[in-house]
Structure 1
Amino acid sequence: MKITYLCCSRFYGGVEKIVIDSLNELCKSEQVALIVPDRCEFLQRLDARVQIYEYKSRDKRYNLFLFVEIYRFLRSGGFEILHSHGAKAAQIGFVVEKFLNLKLVATKHNDRKAPVFDRVRNVIAASRKVATTINHAAKVIYFGIEPRLEFANHEILARCKDAEGAANEALKETKDARDGSAGTAGVSQDTPGVAFASQDMPGRAGVSQDRALDADASQNKTSSVLVLQQGANAAAENFKFSIVAVGRLDKIKGFDLLIRAASELKFDFELKIYGQGGERQNLQNLIDSLNLQDRVRLCGFCDDVAAVLSTSHLHVISSRKEGFPVILIEGIFYSPVLISTRVGGIPEILDEEFLYNVENLSDKIYEIYTEYEKFVGDFCKKHVGFRDILRLQNYITFLKKYYEELD
């Protein structure tokens, strides 16, 4: 098959990740290309086998010069399928398709109404909720990622178990050396920790204060080493419960709601928000007005989401609206615990226990803080089945089958 993708964005985000990952897989067996605006910022992420065409015309849906430019590229390449991502790209594709012998596919990523998807014959919906916003049948195909196993949460739990065993052995050695006279400092029962807890907790191990790992909880290091250190961080005097959120700094992502909820928390925490966007200054002003400068940070763009999620205690999606965000999939694989608002296709994947209403967000975070080990275990068990479904190869298999069956 000869397939070209059309994406009208210059900047890297969730939709662009889907486009890039899809093309990087498809190019292994098909001839593929990508049409994007000039000065696009994410082209270096593409496999060298992906042909790139950067259009120069003004990026308007009804610009005749843009239609002609894209038409010429598609005709010269003899492409069989044009796959558009997003409403603007779908509108452009809908016009160009009329003058070419190719099949248009449009992916709708969110549940906002966009009339063009009602006119396009072949539509892929990012979730079942998104599919309900289209007035004809659409194919629901969940996107997937290729997880980095060193950060995957089931691997984290296994490593924490190993770390706990090592801590038990270290504790035994210390007791033997001191003839049982040395005291141990465990974590109190109301302090969360993935791998370590107080000696009073059945089946859990206290940690000798002088044999605890040398962890600096005041820094959120993004390395797999910190995963093994989370329990030791819980034993440190400067322990902070780490909360993370990732996404474009846009009103729709609800980071202001998360910051306001954080201002109501009555325990020691740090909240790090990763992303770029037009709301940055407004969010910083809110942080300053609530005197949260020492607890809440806007950390800018993050290119290693797996490490950030896996080395935090809690991942929060606070969006006012969503389709089926990539950060949800990454959270299923990497986050020890993920909670979200009930928006878009998220409830199709995330168990009810991990959904919340905005007005109760601070209460939900406190509940997780006080019963952390329970939530870690529940999150892992209740979402294990989705780790097979939400894999990139699964998505590519369904996508290629869809292409092959197009009329």
Structure 2
Amino acid sequence: MRRWQPVDGGFPGTDGNRGKHTLRIVQFMASEGYGGAEKVFIELSNALAAEYEVIALLLRNAIISGRFSPQVRQVVLHSNPTSNNPLLHLELYSRLKELAPDLIHTHAAKGTTLVARVNRLLGLPHLGTKHNDRRGRIFNHLRWVSAVSEKSARSVVAARGAEVRVIHNGVAAEDPGPEEKDKAFTIVAVGRLDAIKGFDILIDQVAALPFDFRLKIIGEGPEKARLEQQIRNRKLSEKVVLEGFRDDIPRLMRRAHLVVISSHQEGGPKVMIESLFHADMLIATPVGAVPEVLPDRFQARQEELAAKISQVYFEYDRYREDFAAVAAKRRPDFSLPEIVEKYRDFYRHILGQKGQSGG
């Protein structure tokens, strides 16, 4: 079976049908949901499509299927998406063999594991992105890994000769325009309604706040019913609202007084990065890339959230001014064009490894 080899004088993908030096990149994330990592996957695919031929490989019933630009070709895997389904592996192998990409870029552990298994027979250059610092042993066996934070990178026990690069998540610097603040002190939390996000703890913490407030939790997920019951039990129905899925996060951040990340674990939280561009103030638990980006005064452990939110409320102008200075300094590091260029550079490096197959 033919294994990938670099082409002298340029990158692969130089046949007449694909245009001179146009790379064919397959992006794959084995997810049916929609959250921060999925948003990164979509935005990166859309941005890369301006230069490369990008194919987004999707699971059946993936709700993100309608969010790609017209320049991104979408290919659906129709097999049952369980990790050990042999039919899924066979379909994935057949699709990748048919597509013959110059490089496959996988996101998160499940998709990376699936591709690594079938790639033993294909030998395609394979870059896997680790989106958190949880155990993900598959990344220990890849030759090329990107991690969304220094902490995520440290969680990879790289094999001999492997390369791990930190490439943060990025944000397109859209301008939703000026927004009036909500009348009550408004707190916004964004994320999939999953236990790891700590929204139950946040609800308990805001119940102790000594001032009028509104908490808007944006997202959908398996914890919704339990959180709704918690809100009723706490008699917070007039103060805490589960807003469901929204696609106007920048606008909601601008209308709010404060964004809070209450997670138990994160990688390179998209909400933190979006807050640098759109929020007046952010506090976050010290998870994932948060300590790499935010000074200590904008961090709080979960059990300290009520105290920190109160401190922000009573010293709001000073906190807002200080956060604006931090955001202005860090925004350039997380602009989407900057992040896309880092991935392009890694792709060029991978494809320039002459005479060596991917893994």
- Provide the TM-score with structure 1 as the length reference: 0.78
* Superposition pairs of residues 313-392 of structure 1, within 5 angstroms: 313-392=257-336
Q: Which structure has more RCO (C-alpha within 8 Å, separation ≥ 6)?
A: 2
Shift of 1:114: 1.3
Question: Given the alignment of the two structures, is residue 312 of structure 1 paired with residue 334 of structure 2, yes or no?
Answer: no
The SS at the match of 2:66 is: helix
Of 167, 170, 175, the match for 1:149: 175
Letter in 1 for 2:36: G
Shift of 1:35: 1.0
Residues 350 and 383 in structure 1, CA contact (< 8 A), matched pair in contact too: no
Q: Tell me the alpha carbon deviations over residues 349-386 of structure 1, each in whole angstroms, 9 at most, x when there is no partner.
A: 11211001222211111111111100110000123121
Residues 60 and 81 in structure 2, CA contact (< 8 A), matched pair in contact too: no
* Superposition pairs of residues 26-175 of structure 1, within 5 angstroms: 26-136=48-158, 137-151=163-177
Letter in 1 for 2:121: F
Residues 185 and 257 in structure 2, CA contact (< 8 A), matched pair in contact too: yes
Q: Tell me the alpha carbon deviations over residues 300-356 of structure 1, each in whole angstroms, 9 at most, x when there is no partner.
A: 111100000111001100001111111111011111000000111111111211001
User: What is the rounded CA distance, in whole Å, between the counterparts of 1:225 and 1:92 in structure 2?
Assistant: 44
Letter in 1 for 2:284: S
Q: Tell me the alpha carbon deviations over residues 228-275 of structure 1, each in whole angstroms, 9 at most, x when there is no partner.
A: xx3xx6xxxxx4211111111111100111111111111111111111
Q: Tell me the alpha carbon deviations over residues 178-228 of structure 1, each in whole angstroms, 9 at most, x when there is no partner.
A: xxxxxxxxxxxxxxxxxxxxxxxxxxxxxxxxxxxxxxxxxxxxxx342xx
The SS at the match of 2:70 is: coil
Identity %: 34
More divergent stretch after superposition (68-77 vs 123-132): 68-77
Letter in 2 for 1:12: Y
The SS at the match of 2:122 is: coil
Of 261, 272, 285, the match for 2:229: 285
User: What is the rounded CA distance, in whole Å, between the counterparts of 2:140 and 2:330 in structure 1?
Assistant: 30
How many corresponding residue pairs? 325
RMSD over aligned Cα atoms:
1.3
Shift of 1:61: 2.5
- Provide the TM-score with structure 2 as the length reference: 0.88
Shift of 1:39: 2.1
The SS at the match of 1:98 is: helix
Give runs of ≥4 in structure 1 deviating > 4 Å: none
Residues 191 and 197 in structure 2, CA contact (< 8 A), matched pair in contact too: yes
Question: Given the alignment of the two structures, is residue 12 of structure 1 paired with residue 39 of structure 2, yes or no?
Answer: no
User: What is the rounded CA distance, in whole Å, between the counterparts of 2:331 and 2:156 in structure 1?
Assistant: 28
Residues 351 and 383 in structure 1, CA contact (< 8 A), matched pair in contact too: no
The SS at the match of 2:121 is: coil
User: What is the rounded CA distance, in whole Å, between the counterparts of 1:359 and 1:309 in structure 2?
Assistant: 24
Residues 305 and 141 from structure 1, CA distance in 2 versus in 1: closer, same or farther, beyond 3 angstroms? same
* Superposition pairs of residues 246-257 of structure 1, within 5 angstroms: 246-257=190-201
The SS at the match of 1:8 is: coil
User: What is the rounded CA distance, in whole Å, between the counterparts of 2:179 and 2:232 in structure 1?
Assistant: 33
Identify the residue that residue 161 of structure 1 maps to in structure 2: none
* Superposition pairs of residues 188-337 of structure 1, within 5 angstroms: 224-226=178-180, 230=181, 239-337=183-281
Q: Any unmatched runs of 5+ in structure 1?
A: 152-223, 234-238
Shift of 1:399: 0.1
Q: Any unmatched runs of 5+ in structure 2?
A: 1-22, 354-359
